[in-house]
Amino acid sequence: MSPSLESHYARIRRQVDARADRLWEVALALHGEPETAYEEHRAAGLLSGELARGGFHVRTGVAGMPTAFVAEAGAGRHLGERAGERPRPCVALLMEYDALPGLGHACGHNLIASAGLGAALAVRAALGETVGTVLAVGTPAEERGGGKVAMVDAGVFDGVDAALMFHPGVYDWARAPLTASAQVRIGFHGRAAHPTGNPTQGIDALGALIQLFNTLGVLTRRLPLGSHVQGIVSEGGDATNIVPAYAEGLFGLRGATTTALKDLEGQVRSCAEGVALATGTRAEVTDVGGRYEHFRDNDVLSDLFAGHLARTGIRLGDPTPGIYLGSSDIGNVSTRVPAVHPFVAIMGADGPDGSDHTPRFAAAAGGPRARVVMLSAAEALACTAADVLLGTGVAERAWDCHRRQADAGL
């Protein structure tokens, strides 16, 4: 490693250390006042305000979402291009800050936000504004709705060379096995009747929906690893003395890859149509919200992040085969630009509550280990961003890796 790189890393470390108390205050402020998807007004205002005071130019209301923002600092994404030179590198540091209904920050998004904030402020202060562009991207509604999906569609990540974030968890994993996911609403239209007075005139929509659950239960047993279907009854009738004319279920679908998810969607639709044919009902299948693509990890960037994190005393390993940690809208970013999404443990995986989305994890997201992890992640993210921005060939290698994965269908 060159002495010049080491000096940049040392400056970044000092910048993070100088902001450590304030970054933790921000994390605790978010933790103490959790806001759910699309309602993160205090969080967005707090984070964007810190970035504005740090010299970033902030745009709010991005992609039509009041709680989304992009803060930019540096030479400008197209400065080199305008001068007839190679465009200068651009790094996006991503922040999530929505909480879970009833559980608060049981996914640790308060730590994601503070680490991204600290990394953005530190790398700008340490490197100045001539090496490239730093974007600090505030992404709402990861838990429900998919703010990053809308931001991808709005072109927020066009021209970005690396999208960087971390996620607190119960594992220390350099790479994120995140599946593709979608939600569909399946409704059955039947015909109302009195179940005693004229039972043969009724067509039981709820019976059809129940049959669909049974059919999907059979389907689930032969799905490939990483794929599953989980459903709930969202509408099942109004009274016991009326044959339900309409019944509806909401189904969550996941696939290990975006292609596997597409295959599963086709099978679920076929099941619904088959049940409708067998029961004399009419099936209606509609998509609900944006779909999350599977996460495409960039080995070049992940190895750099893991190396920088190891310098803080936290070592990351590879994921355990066969364990999937859910889905995230970072997947939609990762299929467009090189990206990382490592997991760093703030609590152990043992015991019945060894998981995120639990009260125990929410408490851990405001605990002493969370502070250590957040600050270490901020430093590692900033150093990885510096690797991309300093023109050492990292951006080119990351893009080569990204294109190879795309060509291989990964």
- Confidence at residue 324, expressed as pLDDT on a 0 to 100 scale: 85
- Confidence at residue 1, expressed as pLDDT on a 0 to 100 scale: 55
- Confidence at residue 252, expressed as pLDDT on a 0 to 100 scale: 95
Q: Say yes or no: do domains 3-178+295-407 and 180-292 share a fold.
A: no
- Confidence at residue 92, expressed as pLDDT on a 0 to 100 scale: 98
The residue whose two tokens read 């900033």 is 382
| Angstrom distances, CA of residue 407 to CA of 153, 400, 402, 410 | 22, 11, 9, 8
- Confidence at residue 407, expressed as pLDDT on a 0 to 100 scale: 87
Q: What is the pTM of this model?
A: 0.90
pLDDT digits (tens, 9 = 90+) for 187-211: 999 999 998 888 889 999 999 999 9
pLDDT digits (tens, 9 = 90+) for 275-316: 999 999 999 999 997 799 999 999 999 999 999 999 999 999
pLDDT digits (tens, 9 = 90+) for 347-393: 876 655 678 889 999 999 999 999 999 999 999 999 999 999 997 89
- Confidence at residue 81, expressed as pLDDT on a 0 to 100 scale: 47
Half-sphere exposure of 107 (CA within 13 A, CB side): 24
- Confidence at residue 244, expressed as pLDDT on a 0 to 100 scale: 96
Q: 12 Cβ partners below 8 Å, 6+ apart? A: 122, 123, 126, 379, 382, 383, 386
Report, as ranges of residue numbers, the positions in the chain whose pLDDT lies below 70. Answer: 1-3, 76-86, 349-353
- Confidence at residue 79, expressed as pLDDT on a 0 to 100 scale: 45
Q: What CATH architecture is 3-178+295-407?
A: 3-Layer(aba) Sandwich (3.40)
Q: 326 Cβ partners below 8 Å, 6+ apart? A: 178, 179, 181
CATH no. for 180-292: 3.30.70.360
Tell me the domain boundaries of the chain.
3-178+295-407, 180-292
Going across the sheet that includes 180-189, the strands are 228-235, 246-255, 180-189, 282-292
Beta pairing partners, 192: none
